[in-house]
Structure 1
């Protein structure tokens, strides 16, 4: 099988020396990659600089990215010249990316200038509309500094929503066995399964691995694999999760 795996966590730049990221280590993705490789499959592994990655082998192709935009471009480039039998989208993708950054003084100056040049703002509806319009314009301010000065008491960071990478995977690779992932924190098993099922249906996945951060400690990593029929199987460690995913993807691919 020709397998694509995304793993690790994307990072969104604030300036040339600072970024926003998450705590993903890529350890689960590495385990899944190693398990597919051990079964003789070819793996294209898309990951981030700080994440761990599978042991190098002749049938492993590594692609390194940083931002969500990088990820989108890398995937579209791969989809343009090869077809995948399975896609394991385990990467922790940033929901937001930086739009611009302003000091407190500059933000207040820009907002005041925009509001005072407009019409009557004594009406709450008009004021609300102008605030939304002003924030939209201020958010488009070009970030000039390569390194934002640290002299301001407050730094205002504007974030805009990233595209959902998982949403394009089925459209781009309709034949692939698609495995999505959902991480929640401190929820019941019932809620974890419910949310996992909604992600599966919304993104037309074949499977979703739902897990709770509070159930990940050392070697323990409890994950619930959900299929389109609503069946669930639970694994207790990263190794068990990897073996379960590889087994289910192989079975699904053979039976298509």
Structure 2
């Protein structure tokens, strides 16, 4: 099989020396990739510089990315070149990316300049005006290579990133798609319910639902949910990897 795996966590630049990221190490993605490789499959591995990765080998192709935009562009390029048998989307993708950054003084100056245009506005008019003003301020071009640290407060504008999982089925209709959902401190019932919702919404074949509070070192409880609502549970990263590989292989054989 030809497998594409995303792993690690994206970063979003604030300036040339600072960024926002998450704590994903890519360890689970690495083990999944290694398990597929051990079965003789070809793996295209999309990952970040900070994440761990499998050792270089003949059937492994590494595609490095940094931001969510990089990820989107890299996937579109790969999808244009290859019809993958399966896409395993384990990467922790940033929900938001940086739009612009302003010092407290710059923000107050820009917002004040807009507010003086109003004369005795109603509450609704003021809300609409503020929404418009913040949207315009958010479009301020951030061209400093390193933002000065002299201000007491730094205001960071963030805008929503596209949902990468939402495009997988459209771009790879033939692929067996495995998505991942991480929650924190929820019941198993809620974890499964949310996982099923994500699966149905994004037309995945499987979702691996897990809770951050159950992840400690190699201990990693994961619940694999299929399109019929059936679940299988694993207790370690290695077990999760075997569960995913076995289910993808079985579904692939049944499709032939």
Aligned-pair distance for 1:54? Answer: 1.1
Question: In the alignment, which residue of structure 1 is the partner of 2:17?
Answer: 17
Question: In the alignment, which residue of structure 1 is the partner of 2:82?
Answer: 82
CA contact (8 A) 1:9 1:51 kept: yes
Aligned-pair distance for 1:121? Answer: 4.0
Question: In the alignment, which residue of structure 2 is the partner of 1:239?
Answer: 238
Question: In the alignment, which residue of structure 2 is the partner of 1:190?
Answer: 189
Moved beyond 2 Å, runs of 4+: 119-122
Kindly tell me the number of residue pairs found equivalent between the two proteins.
255
CA contact (8 A) 1:120 1:126 kept: no
Tell me, yes or no, if structure 1 residue 215 matches structure 2 residue 214: yes
| Distance (Å, rounded) in 2 between the aligned partners of 1:16 and 1:104 | 20
| Distance (Å, rounded) in 2 between the aligned partners of 1:227 and 1:124 | 49
Tell me, yes or no, if structure 1 residue 136 matches structure 2 residue 127: no
CA contact (8 A) 1:121 1:127 kept: no
CA contact (8 A) 1:170 1:205 kept: yes
Question: 5 Å matches for 1:50-69?
Answer: 50-69=50-69
Aligned-pair distance for 1:179? Answer: 0.1
The TM-score normalised by the length of structure 1 is 0.99
Aligned-pair distance for 1:218? Answer: 1.4
Post-superposition CA distance 1:30-59 (Å, at most 9, x none)? 000000000000000000000000121100
Aligned-pair distance for 1:122? Answer: 3.1
Question: In the alignment, which residue of structure 2 is the partner of 1:27?
Answer: 27
| Distance (Å, rounded) in 1 between the aligned partners of 2:59 and 2:219 | 29
Aligned-pair distance for 1:194? Answer: 0.2
| Distance (Å, rounded) in 2 between the aligned partners of 1:120 and 1:148 | 35
- Unaligned stretches of 5+ residues in structure 1: none
Aligned-pair distance for 1:120? Answer: 2.5
Post-superposition CA distance 1:31-88 (Å, at most 9, x none)? 0000000000000000000000012110000000000000000000011111100000
| Distance (Å, rounded) in 2 between the aligned partners of 1:95 and 1:181 | 14
Question: In the alignment, which residue of structure 2 is the partner of 1:46?
Answer: 46
CA contact (8 A) 1:183 1:211 kept: yes
What RMSD, in angstroms, separates the aligned Cα atoms of the two structures? 0.6
CA contact (8 A) 1:192 1:212 kept: yes
The TM-score normalised by the length of structure 2 is 0.99
- Unaligned stretches of 5+ residues in structure 2: none
